[in-house]
Amino acid sequence: MHMNDIAPEWAADPDTLPDWLRQALAVPREEGMVQAAGAEIHYFRWGDRSKPGLLMAHGFLSHARCFAFIAPFLAQDYHIVAYDLSGMGDSGSRPSYPQDVRVAEMVEVAHHTGLMDADRKPVLIAHSYACGIGLDTMYRHHDRFAGFIICDMMAMSPERLARHYSSGAGPPSRRDPNRPHRIYPDFPSARERFVLSPPQPVGEAILAEYMAYHSLRTVDGGYSWKFDPRVLADDRDRETYWRTLGERIVGIPGRSAIIHGRESRLFDGESADWLRGIGARIPITGIPHAHHHLMLDQPIAFAAALETVLAGWRHDRV
């Protein structure tokens, strides 16, 4: 196993980890940094560089390790890169994080990690927050990607969205982005503050421990979060963004597909029916017993769903 992944704080006895997880974390991978849109970007790589490419991008305040136990299932047939968005995980920070820079970063990561060097264009796979970046990337650079798999992006009709927000639900708390992180004296006290958004039970509890541990770094005085507080600032016109999202998903240039958790609070059967009702003609796959963080609930089923979509595209020369 990759020893920098294993620590007693989340895996007191590595031999007791599920066999599938130990096997996934034992698959060879490369770890490195590239410059993208002016920031140092941390990434992992699996597979043979001559194989079709996949670029994986994570959700808000998360990090690339949410794919560290998913990518290995696909590594035999694909060249895979998963990266930490700037200001999150182990990537460098920026003064601000406008969407244009996020899009440029996504394209440059694909380029600088060699995903665009093969004779086939890479497929973009994004979860949650990164889906919005991927959507804009496809609109601006769809000629550079072979397809886009949207993984549990929040998508609701305008009427349902209004009900969603009026119920007190919504995006993660947008605290003051200039306020520094709190320092916790020890790992247990920091771990207590790690929560998923939206709140949900986790099908594979050990994966929540893994993600929590790798969301923190040691600092003078204890532990603190890795993400840059400035990522909490949001420069988007949120009303317009959410109001037009359905039409933009329906109109994605190039190939696309959606995978979601059937128990997700952000994308469910009602979301799928709404998108089909406004013209979506793309495959939509719901994973049973999975919530929004579907890789933490049903990791093997999620990997199988990705493989099913990719296999259907693999022999098309796009």
DSSP line for 160-173: HHHHHHHTT--SSP
Q: Which residues are 257's β-sheet partners?
A: 149
Provide, rounded to the nearest whole percent, the portion of the chain with pLDDT above 90. Answer: 85
Kindly tell me if the per-residue pLDDT of 169 is higher than 70: no
Kindly tell me if the per-residue pLDDT of 175 is higher than 70: no
Provide, rounded to the nearest whole percent, the portion of the chain with pLDDT above 70. Answer: 95
Tokens of 219: 């600092």
Kindly tell me if the per-residue pLDDT of 202 is higher than 70: yes
Chain position carrying tokens 């007791």: 16
Q: Tens digit of pLDDT for each residue in 177-188?
A: 778 899 999 999
| CA distance readout (Å), 121 to 85, 101, 134, 248 | 21, 22, 15, 22
pLDDT tier, 220 (very low <50, low <70, confident <90, very high otherwise): very high
pLDDT tier, 296 (very low <50, low <70, confident <90, very high otherwise): very high
24-313 CATH choice from 1.20.120.550, 3.40.50.1820, 3.40.50.620, 3.40.140.10 = 3.40.50.1820
Mean predicted lDDT score pLDDT of the chain: 93
Q: Report the C-alpha gap between 41 and 57 in whole angstroms.
A: 12
Kindly tell me if the per-residue pLDDT of 88 is higher than 90: yes
List of residues 6+ apart from 121 with CB closer than 8 A: 53, 144, 145, 146, 318
Kindly tell me if the per-residue pLDDT of 1 is higher than 80: no
Helices 129-141, 238-250: axis angle to 10 degrees equals 60
Q: Report the C-alpha gap between 315 and 202 in whole angstroms.
A: 35
Q: Are 86 and 57 in contact (CB under 8 A)?
A: no
For every residue of 177-195, DSSP letters joined together read TTSPPP-BSSHHHHHTT--
What pLDDT is attached to residue 77? Answer: 97
What pLDDT is attached to residue 168? Answer: 63
What pLDDT is attached to residue 314? Answer: 83
Kindly tell me if the per-residue pLDDT of 159 is higher than 60: yes
Q: Report the C-alpha gap between 54 and 48 in whole angstroms.
A: 11
pLDDT tier, 104 (very low <50, low <70, confident <90, very high otherwise): very high
Q: Are 124 and 147 in contact (CB under 8 A)?
A: yes
Kindly tell me if the per-residue pLDDT of 208 is higher than 90: yes
Tokens of 24: 């996934």
User: Would you call 107 helix, strand, or coil by DSSP?
Assistant: helix
What pLDDT is attached to residue 277? Answer: 96
Q: Which residue from 241, 204, 212 is spatially nearest to 61, judged by alpha carbons? A: 212
Kindly tell me if the per-residue pLDDT of 172 is higher than 80: no
Least confident of 63-77, 92-106, 227-241, 253-267: 227-241
Exposure string of 187-224, with b = 16+ CB inside 10 Å and e = fewer, is beebbeeeebbbebeebbebbbbbbbbbbbeeeeeebb
What pLDDT is attached to residue 235? Answer: 66
Q: Where are the domains of the chain?
A: 24-313
Kindly tell me if the per-residue pLDDT of 113 is higher than 60: yes
What pLDDT is attached to residue 155? Answer: 95
Q: Calculate mean pLDDT across residues 230-244.
A: 81
For residue 294, the one-letter residue type is: L
Kindly tell me if the per-residue pLDDT of 236 is higher than 90: no
Kindly tell me if the per-residue pLDDT of 279 is higher than 90: yes
Tokens of 41: 């970007």
Kindly tell me if the per-residue pLDDT of 171 is higher than 90: no
For every residue of 20-46, DSSP letters joined together read HHHHHHHS--EEEEEEETTEEEEEEEE
Kindly tell me if the per-residue pLDDT of 164 is higher than 80: no
Q: Are 207 and 296 in contact (CB under 8 A)?
A: yes
